[in-house]
Amino acid sequence: MHEMMVAQSLFGLISAETEKQNAKPVNAKVSCGVFSMVNDELLSFAFETIAKGTSCEGIKLHVEHKPLNARCKSCDKLFEFDITTPACPKCQCKDFDLLPDEPLMLEEIEFQTE
């Protein structure tokens, strides 16, 4: 289960920032591309399991899935790639380049303010 490895990495990053901030984390925003193949529910479950009994217990993970983009070789239009209609939406050309997928990234940590 690759979500467990992702959760362990996120836990390490969030724990380190929690110590620096000396505050309780309540939310974390994670973004990832299409090919990361992250299942939100499995990732949240894995994180909850790892965080149990730590300062990160109870934190809510919010995962934003970023689309895969492509560039048309005919008209140079940048568009969101959709496997069900693999063609440029502007000129219908089927000759395009897929752009690099977005990496899995910890975007933001929200800490409890008192």
What is the tally of helices (H) and strands (E) in the chain?
Answer: 2, 6
CATH number at residue 54: 3.30.2320.50
Residue 75 lies in a domain: no
Number of other CB atoms surrounding residue 13 within 10 Å: 13
Residue 85 lies in a domain: no
On the question of pLDDT at 2 being above 90, the answer is no
Could you read off the pLDDT of 37-81 as tens digits, one per residue?
999 999 999 999 999 999 999 999 999 999 999 999 999 999 999
HEC-encoded secondary structure of 71-83: EECCCCCEEECCC
Task: Count the domains in the chain.
Answer: 1
Residue 40 lies in a domain: yes
Q: Could you tell me if 48 and 61 are in contact, meaning their C-beta atoms sit under 8 angstroms apart?
A: no
Number of other CB atoms surrounding residue 109 within 10 Å: 19
CA dist list (Å): 56 to 4, 21, 104: 16, 13, 20
